[in-house]
Chain A
Amino acid sequence: MHILGIESSCDETGVALYDTSRGLLAHRLHTQARMHATYGGVVPELASRDHVRRLPALVREVMSEGARDWTELDVVAYTAGPGLAGALLVGASFAESLALALDRPTLPVHHLEGHLLSPLLAEPRPEFPFLALLVSGGHTQLMAVRAVGDYRLLGETIDDAAGEAFDKTAKLLGLGYPGGPALAALAEQGDPARFALPRPLLHAPTLDFSFSGLKTAVALKVGAPDWRAEYAADLAASFQQAVVEVLVAKTMAAVRATGLPRVVVAGGVGANRRLREALAEAGAEQGFAVFYPDVALCTDNGAMIAFAAALRLEAGARVKWDRRIEVHPRWALEGLRQG
């Protein structure tokens, strides 16, 4: 079965073609460079309405790279939420229209379910059940995943996402925005013990996170009269250490609370080297294995949507033929059941 996956919940436009017997055939992600080449000039990065212009070309590219004819498509899957209403509407309208034209059904997919299941596309593939740590620019959550469609939220950020804290702290240190990866690179040269920064909610009884105060603490250090530019690497390292410590401590607490033997990390922050090292150490100490998606699939993408649709169908989910354009800008993953 061939499933086309369409993702347009925020900035990225992602399209992929997944074959349930052969795996991922092709996937494409809009990049700023590609837009410049295709249309010329500077195109706003956040342009929800530009999803409209990106989608037809991306779908054509994916079908051509996957060497599949339109008649071979079986299902069109799309991100129905959560996300920016305007951006979601573009992907959903496009997917429903394409399916109508091809006389095929659709399957709306939850964006975070795509992220949670994306590590199952990689090798080695984790078995259910597992604990998922979803850490990106938009989300920071711990989730117990028992099976496809069986998700229980254990804890989440009450303010900023971890990736957002990285990006904004990078900006405070003059590294531009979004500069999370640049901050991590600078941190490599710094002393993580140089600055005492808070570990918000570290000892709280819940599995919730809070990173907003950490950003404020960095802003105070940078704004202090005795601040000097050469402290930046040490502050970056101290900041990264604080975030990693909290993420790892909460993950360990969640493993203890649930007894889950596997931890799956999804989202862009999962690419952070220090986080990976610290999780590996914690796993060795506490006896859990850690899994990651392919680096190319850490950010928002269409492959995870097509793949999540494939797993849902395998688990008994039904496609829809009603041509209704389904979007849920705010949509809780919990309570999502097969249907």
Chain B
Amino acid sequence: MSLPRETSAITLSLSDENAMAALAARLAPCLAPGWVVHLVGPLGAGKTTFVRAILRALGHTGPVKSPTYGLVELYPVSGLNLYHFDFYRFATPEEFYAAGLEEYFDGTGVCLVEWPEKAAALAPGADLTITIEPRPDGSREVRLTASTPRARQCLNRLAAP
């Protein structure tokens, strides 16, 4: 019996929003209580769009607004409490504690975090990091990096034909 090779990173080229939605739909079933996903990329890369696509895939039909102002939005969906964070407005990483956000990362919800780098080392570690790089033609290069066994299993399933 041969064990499948562990997949810890996948890079994809996505031509448009539909391709992004298709990827989000394949990722969404992996999410379970305790998952932390980091979304990394410059302003306008499509991080919130990606989160919206994940929520749509999980059955959420209402609006998904940018959480920049409120720092966090809660979506109870598919039996999960999904928290959508945005640390963009942090001037210093300590504001992660000052805003009282660490209590959300208690292992019971799914935490999708935009701009985790603004909280630097204080940001709870990710199972999966999604890096979105826009290209001049409007397409996106998306890199998925797994940091935990369950995230690697998820990427294994994604990579399977």
Measured CB to CB, the residues of A under 8 A from B are 10, 42, 44-50, 82-87, 137-139, 156-161, 164, 168, 171-172, 177-178, 212, 215-220, 223-225, 329-330
Contacts and interface: CB of A to CB of B under 8 A. Distances in A.
A84 B70 contact: yes
Contact of A220 (B72, B92, B99, B138): B138
Contacts, number: 101
B117 interface: no
Interface stretch (B2-10, B27-35, B58-66, B152-160): B58-66
Chain B at the A interface: mostly helix, strand, loop or mixed?
Answer: loop
A172 B44 contact: yes
Interface in B76-97: 88-92, 94-95
A46 B90 contact: yes
Interface in B29-64: 42-46, 48-49, 52, 63-64
B74 interface: yes
Interface of B: 42-46, 48-49, 52, 63-66, 68-72, 74, 88-92, 94-95, 98-101, 134, 136, 138
Contacts of A215: 43-44
A87 B70 CA distance: 10
> Which 8 pairs of residues, A with B, have the shortest CB-CB distance?
A219-B44, A138-B69, A86-B100, A47-B98, A216-B44, A44-B95, A44-B98, A160-B66
Contact of A159 (B65, B92, B99): B65
Q: Which of B48, B66, B100 has the most CB of A within 10 A?
A: B66
7 contacts: A84-B70, A139-B69, A159-B48, A161-B65, A161-B69, A171-B43, A329-B74
B104 to A, nearest CB: 9
Contact of B70 (A138, A156, A217, A220): A138
Contacts of A330: 74
Specify which of A82, A158, A215 lies most central, judged by the most chain B CB atoms within 10 Å of its CB: A158
B91 A45 contact: yes
Nearest to A49: B98
